[in-house]
Amino acid sequence: MDDQAVGTLSRAFNMDVFLRVKSLLAAQFGEAVVVGEEVAGLQPALIISGEWLPQVCLFLRDHEATYFDFLSCISAVDNGPAAETFTVVYHLASIPHQHQLTLKVMIQNDRRLDNLPVVPSVSSVWRTADWHEREAFDLMGIYFEGHPDLRRILLPDDWHGYPLRKDYEEAETYHGIPIK
């Protein structure tokens, strides 16, 4: 089987999982839980209402048809100062079922450092989320409500700002030491 055939088969498999999960979520939580979808690209994504995120993740982890037992990654995307939105992306995998799913949560925010974008923590669903959420907090300034120990993980505790934001301005010094 050539690479194109493998890609087509993989895409069809992902779409099947995507559609089944979307249907399960609508049946369990109602139509309002999925606020959008992205079907272009290699892996389709369901855009979930942030208020439902922990319940949706717990359902997807525990349901026998999905059993997403592995959270492989959480990443945060700054959609730019003009958009005033951030996206948090969750890559889920089911090791026994051998399927994957991408969930996204969109957050409106005015970008002020005293008003961080907020998303509920999923660290009670997958323990690995603890570290992923701390990294997204540290570098992008996403506040994960309910996280057991949300603090910086890569930068010093007194670092100002979030370096992966598109409007981040690098400091010239840190405690009097030049850093450029």
Domain containing residue 22: CATH number = 3.30.460.80
From CA 163, how far away is CA 10, in angstroms rounded? 35
In a structure prediction context, what are the per-residue pLDDT tens digits for the chain, which is 180 residues long? 555 543 444 445 578 889 999 999 999 999 999 999 999 877 899 999 999 999 999 999 999 999 999 999 999 999 999 999 999 999 999 999 999 999 999 999 999 999 999 999 999 999 999 999 999 999 999 999 999 999 999 999 999 999 999 999 988 999 999 987
- Residues spanned by the domain of 108: 3-178
Q: From CA 142, how far away is CA 78, in angstroms rounded?
A: 10
Total of domains in the chain: 1
